[in-house]
């Protein structure tokens, strides 16, 4: 079946089938923000991909290519990776919106100097971005969106069976359109706090011109920080609604990609 025979017959065939199914699932978990975080050990992702692959093998009739290490077999594996990465990338875009909004808000508040290691990417990001990421993660998990995403991942084997995994320009355009929607959501999250910070900076600028003896830094930085914190507290209901809508849009975009 795979041009390699270790003498185990049907057991060997099932092993290669399981390994082939794990390819798409593993690529999706690596690209997804929660499961592909740098803090998640690779062993956990492999175990998770194997557990889901066992269910896929039991529920569907997915079969590995007859010659897995041939050119056709390697192209089939590449197609599996493409579908998995596309599903994970759509989810990654939704988690990028709050971080982008935090970059804008933190710059106006002067909090970009306070950085922490982002557990999702392993890079440094503003502390405010960590707060937004925690809010999005909690809401995403509370809504059960991760379970819906797993359901779409399993459904992808029916929509894109092995050997027919080319997404096409229409689906790539859908992913790009969701990226533009992500930028709009990031701007919407940052807009209320940014307007408050802009007003405070205008007032401190007028005061510094009216009374040159006032120190602009000693006056503007605390005022901007306090105003930003107050604006974040007042805009918490708006942030929660936007994050809930963003989670729902991420699942909807993944479902649109999976449509025939």
Query: Hey, where are the domains in the chain?
Result: 10-99+126-258
pLDDT of 3 reads: 47
Picking from 248, 234, 114, the residue whose alpha carbon sits closest to that of residue 181 is 248
Rounded CA-CA distance 38/46 in Å is 14
Judging by beta carbons within 10 Å of its beta carbon (0-12, 13-18, 19+), is residue 113 exposed, middle or buried? Answer: exposed
pTM score, whole prediction? 0.74
pLDDT, tens only, 84-131: 888 888 888 888 888 888 888 877 776 666 565 555 555 666 677 777
Alpha helices in the chain (DSSP H): 10-31, 42-59, 71-109, 127-142, 145-159, 168-210, 216-234, 236-258
Summarised one tens digit per residue, pLDDT across range 36-84 is 777 777 788 888 888 888 888 888 777 777 777 777 778 888 888 888 8
Tens digits of per-residue pLDDT, 202-240? Answer: 887 777 777 666 666 666 677 777 887 888 888 778 778
Q: Which of 64, 21, 83, 27 is nearest to 257 (CA)?
A: 83
Contact predicate 51/26, CB 8 Å: no
């Amino acid at each position: 079946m795979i041009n390699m025979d270790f003498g185990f017959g049907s057991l060997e065939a099932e092993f290669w089938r399981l390994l082939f199914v794990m390819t798409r699932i593993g690529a999706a978990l690596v690209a997804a923000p929660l499961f592909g975080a740098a803090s998640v050990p690779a062993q956990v992702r492999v175990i998770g991909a194997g557990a889901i692959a066992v269910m896929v093998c039991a529920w569907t009739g997915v079969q590995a290519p007859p010659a897995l290490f041939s050119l056709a077999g390697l192209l089939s594996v590449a197609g599996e990776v493409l579908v998995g990465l596309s599903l994970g990338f759509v989810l990654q875009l939704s988690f990028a919106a709050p971080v982008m909004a935090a970059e804008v808000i933190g710059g106006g508040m002067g909090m970009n100097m306070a950085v922490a290691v982002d557990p999702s990417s392993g890079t440094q990001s503003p502390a405010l971005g960590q707060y937004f990421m925690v809010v999005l993660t909690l809401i995403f998990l509370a809504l059960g969106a991760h379970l819906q995403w797993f359901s779409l991942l399993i459904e992808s084997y029916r929509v894109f069976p092995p050997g027919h995994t080319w997404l096409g320009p229409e689906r790539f355009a859908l992913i790009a359109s969701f990226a533009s929607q992500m930028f709009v959501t990031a701007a919407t999250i940052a807009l209320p706090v940014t307007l408050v910070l802009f007003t405070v900076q205008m007032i401190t600028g007028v005061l510094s011109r009216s009374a040159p003896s006032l120190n602009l830094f000693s006056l503007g930085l605390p005022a901007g920080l306090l105003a930003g914190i107050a604006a974040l507290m007042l805009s918490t209901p708006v942030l929660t609604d936007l994050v809930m809508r963003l989670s729902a849009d991420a699942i909807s975009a993944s479902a649109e990609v999976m449509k025939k």
